[in-house]
Structure 1
Amino acid sequence: MSGIELASRQGRMIVVATVLGSGMAMLDSSVVNVALVRIGEDLGAGLADLQWVTNGYLLALASLILLGGSLGDRFGRRRIFSLGVVWFAVASAVCGLAQTPEQLIVARLLQGVGGALLTPGSLALLESSLRVTDRAKAIGAWTGATGIASIAGPFLGGWLVQYASWRWVFGINIPLAVATLWVTRVAVPESRRDRVEGRFDVGGAVLATATLAAATVALIQSASLGAAMTVALLGLAVVLGVAFVLVERRTEHPMVEPSLFADRVFSGANLMTLLTYAALGAMSFFVTLQLQITVGYEPLLAGVASMPITVLMMALAAKGGELGTRIGPRIPMTVGPLSCAIGVAWLSFVDASDAGLAGYLTAVLPGLLVFGLGLCLLVAPLTSTVLAAAPEGFAGVASGVNNAVARTGTLLAIAALPAAVGLGSDYRDAAVFSPGYQRAMLVCAGLLVLGAVVSWWALRAAPAPSSGAVSRGTLRG
């Protein structure tokens, strides 16, 4: 039987390498929101700058993640994974040394490029290196270990911001990258697709990036650009998006296979992904700011406050996948977003009167728990449904598309919502921020309800995914 045995020393080290690499990216994404308020204070950043600190990373990651997976298949998965780790670490160091908001934003864009090279390679290395019979167990170990990174992220980030500096939120990536590179070099064999046909879809990658960039600039900078320029940029984004679709339909080897979207279940699940992850990303952005600006939490407490969601995901997400296998995805993917919407609506009432333990237990924690339970219902069936709807041989492409759609939803929501709810450069004033926060949370609840409606309509004929698909789908959270 070909492949490396998981129980061997080399097999265990392969898992360690992939956990360190993906855990580094996951840790970074989970701690930056906690640091935003201190970054704004230290660098004199406005709200638009803070939006770009988050969205610069997401912009590069969402538009290039499929290209990153293709590079690994062609030039070697270990090589591209290692390149992504080095790139991510160097960009992290530049983030930590930034002296202006503009420098930090550029560094975050570069960090997103590294993430796009690194992220697809993590599970690909497990799939290509280990024995077929050991892969499910290895993916389970990967899931548990990266889940620990998700739990540790807010706590570690909050501690670093509060007792050291926000710069160490990025600096912590450097020793993690060194460890990842060493283990990868020692233990991970090189692998690539045996036969790769066609050229890279460079045109598709450029158009996808330009589309998202034009929309993001228009939404974030609308106040300074004025109405005419904002509308012009949004129009340009639409034109570029149409051009992207046309290029993907006509190119021989497209980055995104258009035929996948002919399936109503696949298209509906991805539309639901866009809406749900838009709400999830915006909720996380606004709640973390509200807890610090209005309620008065220190960074450490603000980071720890959201940990119940991650704990629930680790404990119950697999159960949600099992439920989807038994009864089909339609009910979990409808009830899940509705539960999340109720949790978000509850959290919209969090204000300055909820300081202290009593306020957390009565106002913050219940909303987080209801939201987390909804996520547990929907995450695994969502990804599993996307994989099950894809034709044979397209599971990897389908997963990549779904990941890109999720990050695009977060990107656009964080770009659009602050201006839409009336927030501007005076965001540090709790009297201004709190009403905008409440409006933003209600919009997020509406997006989740709309996601539930889409699921109920699109998935009425969707079959229950196989247990194998569910095991892969649980990685999404």
Structure 2
Amino acid sequence: MAAPAQERPDVRISTPTGKWILLTTVLGSSMAMLDSTVVNVALPRIGRDLDASLADLQWTVNAYMLTLAGLILLGGSLGDRFGRRKVFVIGVVWFAAASLLCGLAPSGGVLIAARALQGVGGALLTPGSLALIQASFHPDDRARAVGLWSGFGGVGAAVGPFLGGWLVDGPGWRWVFLLNIPVALVCAPIALRHVPESADGQSHKGFDVLGAALGALSLALVTYALIEARSGSVLVVVTAVLGVAAGVAFVYVEKRRPDPMMPLDIFASRQFTAVNLVTLCVYAAFAGFFFLTALQLQVVAGYSALQAGTALLPTTALMLLFSARSGELAQRIGPRIPLTVGPLLCAAGMLLMLRVGPDASYVVDVLPALLVMGAGMVTLVAPLTATVLASVATARAGLASGINNAAARAAGLIAVAALPLLTGMGPDAYRSADAFNAAFRRAMPLCAGILVVGAALAFTTVRRLAPDCRRPECRTHGCVTAPPLEPSTSRGRLA
């Protein structure tokens, strides 16, 4: 039986219960956010220890993004129906159990399967943490609570690569995953003891399990076809065709279901459609950049894992420091200029990364590129979120944010699968500094080109925000894998 709906959210941040709720949600969401950023730094060591091919490393990243992107919209609805605290705790425990499997994995295949399970847990706890804040805090405190949640989550995202590098060079890459277990052991009991349960079972007629399954299946088949395309086998062609067919079936199902996971009529807004196309371009380039750069710094430039993780800090640090101001600027001048200039700055930063080769100097070669890249991310991420929220009715803001977040993750998934193919990386390219450097020098212009396309789309399609549009509540953030999730105006409903 579903938990009863909470009559009125009335917890204040200043109370002990409010502080416990905030701590619980930050701990839970940080687990998923850390794993989105920290694993890239560990990839070379994972490859050596497990004798993994480049395709195995791609799947180590993509298996997690696949299930997270495919199920994150469904995860929010499950919490609404069966109890937000219950589903959140299940997600935390699930994520920790999958992390244990990752840490103990004896082979690349087991690690990939465990990473897919991690993504399922992430799809339950990430929207669940935001829904708990929405459903628990008094309306006067909710915006501040969401801001603190997103700010602390951004700190976690910034610390992730540094922490991952320290663990890889110290106790070993397995601790990148095992570290989630003590966090979960703290988080779950606090949630059960101090977080009030809430649900809204009457708001759902059913769950779009078929739609979620078809969406995830389509992404999985297309990803497999791209990663294995080097073989040129008939199986790859068949898989690609089946992936496209599953995508068509997903659209057909979503169009005809009475309560779809992703209502297609939301795309009747030209602004919403346009900004999601920009999102696809931007986050495809970001995912390819961070996946390849973590390898380039270690395989080619000779950095340790800790040095590589520390090297990537400027991008997220700049977002944490200036994302709120960027959002305020976009409210004054409109999103068109930031969404055009931001991708162009990021493209320039990626082209500057072409200076990074063997024995590259951090101050002379790496840092300037990352500062330009970070400036571009600061310029575009907050306005992108604001434009998503402004392009739909207020009641659908949470849904719009969830779709935009899932689109970004799906774009990253496809980019990590496709870039090695497009740049001619062989199965063992990451073992050879010369081979990987040559492919990296082909990849950065491709990523920059995708960003230029995104900038052109923004310039030609994005229009000024309405004066009374809803402003993002996640004003401070540092996640580089997807735009921040935003709550809806209805209690806790994300999807």
Please say if residues 283 and 441 of structure 1, whose CA atoms lie closer than 8 Å, have aligned partners that are also in contact. Answer: yes
Amino acid in the other structure paired with 1:201? D
Deviations 1:368-419 (A, max 9, x none): 0001011101111111111111223111111110110010010000001101
Please say if residues 320 and 476 of structure 2, whose CA atoms lie closer than 8 Å, have aligned partners that are also in contact. Answer: no
Amino acid in the other structure paired with 1:434? N
Please say if residues 348 and 373 of structure 2, whose CA atoms lie closer than 8 Å, have aligned partners that are also in contact. Answer: yes
Deviation at 1:228, TM superposition (A): 3.8
Amino acid in the other structure paired with 1:288? A
Gaps of 5+ in 1: none
Deviation at 1:140, TM superposition (A): 1.8
Deviation at 1:233, TM superposition (A): 2.1
Pair 1:403 & 2:405 matched: yes
Give the equivalent residue in structure 2 for 1:322.
328
Give the equivalent residue in structure 1 for 2:145.
138
Please say if residues 384 and 470 of structure 1, whose CA atoms lie closer than 8 Å, have aligned partners that are also in contact. Answer: yes
TM-score, L = length of structure 1 = 0.96
Distance, in Å, in 2 between the alignment partners of 1:96 and 1:386 is 37
Deviations 1:93-149 (A, max 9, x none): 000000100000000000111111111111111111000000111122112211221
Q: Any idea what SS the aligned residue of 2:394 has?
A: coil
Give the equivalent residue in structure 2 for 1:458.
461
Distance, in Å, in 1 between the alignment partners of 2:249 and 2:23 is 42
Deviation at 1:6, TM superposition (A): 0.9
Amino acid in the other structure paired with 2:369? G
Give the equivalent residue in structure 1 for 2:250.
244
Deviation at 1:426, TM superposition (A): 2.2
Please say if residues 67 and 119 of structure 2, whose CA atoms lie closer than 8 Å, have aligned partners that are also in contact. Answer: yes
Question: Given the superposition, is the C-alpha separation of residues 194 and 285 from structure 1 closer, same or farther in structure 2, using an over 3 Å criterion?
Answer: same
Give the equivalent residue in structure 2 for 1:444.
447
Deviation at 1:473, TM superposition (A): 5.8
Give the equivalent residue in structure 2 for 1:307.
313
Within-5 A mapping of 1:33-432: 33-193=40-200, 195-224=202-231, 226=232, 228-354=234-360, 359-427=361-429, 428-432=431-435
Deviation at 1:179, TM superposition (A): 0.8
Please say if residues 3 and 130 of structure 1, whose CA atoms lie closer than 8 Å, have aligned partners that are also in contact. Answer: yes
Distance, in Å, in 2 between the alignment partners of 1:148 and 1:7 is 22
Task: Considering fraction of residues, name the structure with more helix.
Answer: 1
Q: Any idea what SS the aligned residue of 1:469 has?
A: coil
Amino acid in the other structure paired with 2:452? V
Structure 1 window deviating more from structure 2 (80-89 vs 201-210): it is 201-210
Deviation at 1:4, TM superposition (A): 0.5
Please say if residues 340 and 373 of structure 1, whose CA atoms lie closer than 8 Å, have aligned partners that are also in contact. Answer: yes
Q: Any idea what SS the aligned residue of 1:315 has?
A: helix
Q: Any idea what SS the aligned residue of 1:63 has?
A: helix
Deviations 1:441-476 (A, max 9, x none): 11110111111011112213553674x523336543
Distance, in Å, in 2 between the alignment partners of 1:253 and 1:173 is 35
Structure 1 window deviating more from structure 2 (287-296 vs 378-387): it is 378-387
Amino acid in the other structure paired with 1:415? A
Distance, in Å, in 1 between the alignment partners of 2:444 and 2:198 is 45
Please say if residues 302 and 359 of structure 2, whose CA atoms lie closer than 8 Å, have aligned partners that are also in contact. Answer: no
TM-score, L = length of structure 2 = 0.93
Deviations 1:236-276 (A, max 9, x none): 22211111111111110001010111111000111111110
Amino acid in the other structure paired with 1:155? F
Deviation at 1:25, TM superposition (A): 1.1
Question: Given the superposition, is the C-alpha separation of residues 25 and 142 from structure 1 closer, same or farther in structure 2, using an over 3 Å criterion?
Answer: same
Structure 1 window deviating more from structure 2 (50-59 vs 174-183): it is 174-183
Deviation at 1:187, TM superposition (A): 1.3
Distance, in Å, in 2 between the alignment partners of 1:21 and 1:383 is 23
The CA RMSD over aligned residues, in Å, is 1.4
Q: Any idea what SS the aligned residue of 1:107 has?
A: helix
Runs of 4 or more above 6 Å deviation: none
Please say if residues 330 and 462 of structure 1, whose CA atoms lie closer than 8 Å, have aligned partners that are also in contact. Answer: no
Give the equivalent residue in structure 1 for 2:491.
none
Distance, in Å, in 1 between the alignment partners of 2:392 and 2:317 is 31
Deviation at 1:362, TM superposition (A): 1.1
Deviation at 1:31, TM superposition (A): 1.1
Please say if residues 21 and 177 of structure 1, whose CA atoms lie closer than 8 Å, have aligned partners that are also in contact. Answer: yes
Deviations 1:2-30 (A, max 9, x none): 51111001101100000000111111222
Question: Given the superposition, is the C-alpha separation of residues 239 and 465 from structure 1 closer, same or farther in structure 2, using an over 3 Å criterion?
Answer: farther
Amino acid in the other structure paired with 1:213? A
Q: Any idea what SS the aligned residue of 1:352 has?
A: coil
Distance, in Å, in 1 between the alignment partners of 2:43 and 2:204 is 44
